[in-house]
Amino acid sequence: MGRPGLSWVGSAARSFVVRWFAGRRLGRSRFALLVAVIAALAFPLGDIAAAAAGTFVSYTYNGLGGTRPYSVYTPANYTTSQQVPLIVMLHGCGGSPNDFANTTQMNVLADTNQFIVVYPYETSTYGGCWKWPDPAHQSRGSGEPAIIAGITQTVIADTTHWNVDQSRVYVAGFSAGAGMSVVMAATYPDLYAAMGEAAGVEYKALSNGAIAPTLPSGGPDPVLQGQAAYNAMGQYARVMPVIAFQGSQDTTVPPVNGDQVVKQWMETDRLASGGTYNASFSAPSGTVTGRAPVTNGQAYTVRSWNDPSSNEVEEYWTVTGMGHAWSGGSTTGQYADPLGPSASQNMYAFFMAHVLGPPPPPQPLQVTSVAVGNLVATSAVITWQTNNTANSRVDFGTSITYDSFASDPALVTNHSITLTGLTANTTYHYQVTSVDGHAQTATSIDATFGTTAANFSLQLSAAADRSASSALQGQTVAGTIYVFTSPASGVTRVRFWLDNPQMSGTPRQTEGAAPWDFAGTAANGTANPTNTTTIPNGSHTITAAVDKSAGGTDVLTSSFTISNAGPPPPPPSGFSLQVSAAADRSASSALQGRTVAGTIYVFVSPASGVTRVRFWL
């Protein structure tokens, strides 16, 4: 077969382009673009390649995130009087700017349509593969995302060489570069208006740092990864338009991964839109099938999903029979399939239909469906919903002044906060508050709930057999006491804390079998004593977490006071303890610091001025 070019985009191709674009929502500017794209398609590939007469210059970036080389293609006949789009192209493993430019023919397209192309270079010095699976390179402001964004911003800022339309900056990639393009769209949605990927994976499909990852069954649930990408967007969250290409015979990045890319971005965009965009992968807004009009051209299917205003948000090309390749690329490029529809031309067309503008105002935040559940003696679960993703806080207390709170910083729409350490048989006031990513706050009205009566209690006894016990709460104790929870039945475990009602850290005592004693249980079944003289006098608490056989945990806290008589005062000044080897106390000396043996005689001196002496050893 001769060298296939783009000569197939004559009348047949023109018919396809017009038919395909008719399915999209075109304004005046899009119609002008359509004419330009058709004109570009009318030339054979070889002729276009020869027409790539712009300048291709290499630079080095040093800045936030690290250092990388990169190349910039400036189209022929360009002057800075023209404000033009910019497309960032991320090569696959082992690629280079020169090879990727040849593979994709993006520079040729830039000559025809006048836009800047930037090729960050992941050289062999840095492993040759973009590090999208590494957690250190999956967030804004660090690692390779910061480097790629920094390169993009450096080119934008260089107004001596270029005049970039900052509302038309895009990122696209192949294979590992596609994986990193997905990361860039999630971490810098305020920089890139839209994203294109070929043979890529969903956001955080892996987070194990694998150099050559394989995902034969895809990554995690794309709905969960959609939430993760939305979280990565942070305060810059917005709907991110995405165009994806996938070969049906790709064994390096199997087709399930292409599906997951689209599904992940559907969920991310649903969250970013506040739910107004809610696409279903199985129900596209439009489907087009065809075959690249070249000898032995590949068949393809294009599905698109629109928002309620008929603006296209996701576009997914699946190319039948294509392996791990850039569809429609050069015959001499690495990982190119010239028999497929042109990924470069269709990505460019998709990009030009999406402009980065100021984000639409968010929906006013609303709190709804506030409810109390799992209500027991010492805990309750408060649930509610918000229309925007927002954090969670519950203020609560026995009065409307709310002297306690519990919170969760995660941005969600379905909220659940568990309140613990409550007092049994008590009425509580509570109020929920959420703050969304736009700093909007919504608060519920005051409401109340009542805890149930306690099923268990902390008991105090003066006897090891736990007889004649009474509630520990409010007691004043001294000497030896025995503390335990009652009743003993219906319990699987009890953990005890002294003066730690928050139950932080390791419990003072953990009991795994009845009876449930604060100081543990002796071998004969009696309770071990608690010597209160080892605990300072004053107010104290014992907290017990009682794990119930039927499920759940009751938390009991009782306050009590220890009041033990203090030790005798020291002898008045002038008295000392003396030691002698003789019973008549002769030749005595101070006992302090002496080493003694055999029989000794110890006494207080002087003997006068004293009414009583008590000794302790």
DSSP run (H or E) holding 144: helix 143-157
pLDDT of residue 421: 84
Residue 68 binned pLDDT confidence (cut-offs 50, 70, 90): very high
First to last CA, the chain: 107
Q: Does pLDDT of 86 surpass 50? A: yes
- Name the residue with higher pLDDT: 246 or 329: 246
* Average confidence (pLDDT) over 455-482: 93
* Average confidence (pLDDT) over 467-485: 94
Which tens digits make up the pLDDT trace of 181-203? 999 999 999 999 999 999 999 99
Which tens digits make up the pLDDT trace of 567-579? 666 655 678 898 8
Q: Does pLDDT of 154 surpass 70? A: yes
Task: Scan for tokens 């709190």, then name that residue.
Answer: 367
* Average confidence (pLDDT) over 442-460: 92
Q: Does pLDDT of 338 surpass 90? A: yes
d(CA 261, CA 179): 9
Are residues 240 and 170 in contact, defined by beta-carbon separation less than 8 angstroms? no
Residue 565 binned pLDDT confidence (cut-offs 50, 70, 90): confident
d(CA 318, CA 247): 6
Task: Specify the amino acid at residue 218.
Answer: G
d(CA 614, CA 604): 10
Are residues 276 and 288 in contact, defined by beta-carbon separation less than 8 angstroms? no
Q: Does pLDDT of 248 surpass 90? A: yes
Task: Specify the amino acid at residue 486.
Answer: S
Q: Does pLDDT of 3 surpass 60? A: no
Neighbours of 521 (CB within 10 A): 17
Q: Does pLDDT of 398 surpass 70? A: yes
User: Is the preceding peptide bond at 4 cis, omega within 30 degrees of 0?
Assistant: no
d(CA 19, CA 24): 10
- Name the residue with higher pLDDT: 45 or 366: 366
Residue 397 binned pLDDT confidence (cut-offs 50, 70, 90): very high
Identical fold, 11-352 and 457-562? no
* Average confidence (pLDDT) over 311-331: 96
d(CA 363, CA 460): 57
Q: Does pLDDT of 46 surpass 60? A: no
* Average confidence (pLDDT) over 415-426: 90
pLDDT of residue 108: 95
* Average confidence (pLDDT) over 331-335: 86
- CA distances to 260, 462, 483 from 530, rounded to whole Å, are 61, 10, 8
Kindly state the tokens that stand for 141. 């402001």
Q: Does pLDDT of 10 surpass 50? A: no
Are residues 86 and 156 in contact, defined by beta-carbon separation less than 8 angstroms? yes
Question: What is 457-562's CATH number, 1.10.287, 2.60.40, 3.40.50, 3.30.420?
Answer: 2.60.40
Are residues 303 and 284 in contact, defined by beta-carbon separation less than 8 angstroms? yes
- Name the residue with higher pLDDT: 66 or 36: 66
Tell me if residue 569 falls in helix, strand or coil: coil
Task: Scan for tokens 């609303």, then name that residue.
Answer: 366
Q: Which CATH architecture has domain 11-352?
A: 3-Layer(aba) Sandwich (3.40)
Neighbours of 204 (CB within 10 A): 22
pLDDT of residue 573: 61
pLDDT of residue 336: 94
* Average confidence (pLDDT) over 305-321: 97
Are residues 71 and 57 in contact, defined by beta-carbon separation less than 8 angstroms? yes
Task: List alpha helices for 295-425, DSSP H.
Answer: 343-352
Question: What is 367-450's CATH number, 1.25.40.390, 3.40.1190.20, 2.60.40.10, 3.20.20.330?
Answer: 2.60.40.10
Residue 213 binned pLDDT confidence (cut-offs 50, 70, 90): confident
Q: Does pLDDT of 295 surpass 50? A: yes
Domain regions of the chain by residue span = 11-352, 367-450, 457-562, 575-617
Average pLDDT, the chain: 88
* Average confidence (pLDDT) over 46-58: 66
> Is residue 453 packed enough to be buried (19+ CB in 10 Å), middle (13-18) or exposed (0-12)?
exposed
d(CA 472, CA 450): 23
Are residues 144 and 54 in contact, defined by beta-carbon separation less than 8 angstroms? no
Residue 608 binned pLDDT confidence (cut-offs 50, 70, 90): confident
Q: Does pLDDT of 25 surpass 50? A: no
* Average confidence (pLDDT) over 435-441: 90
Which tens digits make up the pLDDT trace of 260-283? 999 999 999 999 999 999 999 999
Strands 312-319 and 242-247, how do they pair?
A: parallel
Helix-then-strand count for the chain, H and E? 10, 30
Which tens digits make up the pLDDT trace of 497-520? 999 999 999 999 999 999 999 999
Tell me if residue 432 falls in helix, strand or coil: strand
Which tens digits make up the pLDDT trace of 512-560? 999 999 999 999 999 999 999 999 999 999 999 999 888 888 888 899 9
* Average confidence (pLDDT) over 101-113: 96
Which tens digits make up the pLDDT trace of 346-385? 999 999 999 998 766 778 999 999 999 988 888 899 999 9
In sequence order, what are the residues at sequence separation of 6 or more whose Cβ sits closer than 8 angstroms to the Cβ of residue 158?
none
d(CA 394, CA 406): 5
d(CA 113, CA 165): 14
Tell me if residue 262 falls in helix, strand or coil: helix
d(CA 91, CA 87): 13
Task: Please state, for a pLDDT cut of 70, what percent of the chain lies above it.
Answer: 90
pLDDT of residue 52: 64
> In terms of pTM, does the model score above 0.85?
no
* Average confidence (pLDDT) over 1-5: 28
Say which range, 36-50, 129-143, 406-420, 445-459, has the weakest mean pLDDT.
36-50
pLDDT of residue 585: 86
Are residues 130 and 144 in contact, defined by beta-carbon separation less than 8 angstroms? yes
Task: Please state, for a pLDDT cut of 90, what percent of the chain lies above it.
Answer: 72
